[in-house]
Amino acid sequence: MTVESSSGGAVQDLYLRYAADVYRLAMQSTHDHAEAEDIVHEVFLRVLCKWDDFRGDAHVKTWIWRIAKNYLIDSARRRMRQQELMAEVGSTYRPNLLVSLIEFEDAIHRLPDQQQRVLDLRVVQDLSVADTANVLGCSEGKVRVDTHRALSRMRKVLYEGVT
């Protein structure tokens, strides 16, 4: 496989060659067929997006493997941050995991836009307080206050039914 190949055709060829390897790696990490398939698709989407950056210093399989490993690491960090957020909001509220997640999403959407953005950057994007402040163009103190207020509001919505 040469770097000069057209990105679409090259990535399709790479997918046919290496998707099974990426799937096995994803299954080792997730133990879930559907999630592993989603990871394979996301990894090859990233391969397509980064194809022009591939320098050819390493074998293409090594490059794809690194993209897959980095994606799995990022996903694990994101899940940990989401679990930490759920724990901060309250660990005793879990009548049914699916209902809990739906209500959790609903609680997030009830927040003011600024608080939604802060939680998105801090939890989903896993940015630090400083990075979140830079992205939003505000102080770190404001990020901390908005995070605290968002979590307090979510507790009220989830536990007390406040709308």
157 vs 4, residue with greater confidence: 157
Whether the CA torsion 135, 137, 139, 145 is positive or negative: it is: negative
By the 10 Å C-beta count (0-12 exposed, 13-18 middle, 19+ buried), 114 is classed as middle
- Does 84 reside within a domain? no
Q: Based on the fold, state whether residues 94 and 42 are members of the same structural domain.
A: no
Q: How many domains are contained in the chain?
A: 2
- Which CATH number goes with the domain that contains 116? 1.10.10.10
Q: Could you read off the pLDDT of 3-39 as tens digits, one per residue?
A: 444 566 777 889 999 999 999 989 888 888 998 999 9
Q: Do 161 and 107 touch, CB atoms closer than 8 A?
A: no
- Does 1 reside within a domain? no
Structure tokens at 2: 């040469």
Q: Could you read off the pLDDT of 47-98 as tens digits, one per residue?
A: 988 888 888 888 898 899 999 998 988 888 877 777 777 676 665 555 555 5
Q: What is the DSSP letter of 91?
A: S
Q: Based on the fold, state whether residues 74 and 98 are members of the same structural domain.
A: no
Q: Could you read off the pLDDT of 83-140 as tens digits, one per residue?
A: 777 676 665 555 555 556 677 777 888 889 899 889 888 877 778 889 889 889 999 9
User: 69 Cβ partners below 8 Å, 6+ apart?
Assistant: 25
- Does 85 reside within a domain? no
- Which CATH number goes with the domain that contains 22? 1.10.1740.10
144 CB-side CA count, 13 A? 4
Q: Based on the fold, state whether residues 96 and 153 are members of the same structural domain.
A: yes
| Domain range for 54 | 7-78
**At which of 21, 53, 78 does a domain end?**
78
Q: Do 3 and 24 touch, CB atoms closer than 8 A?
A: no
pLDDT above 90 coverage of the chain, percent: 24
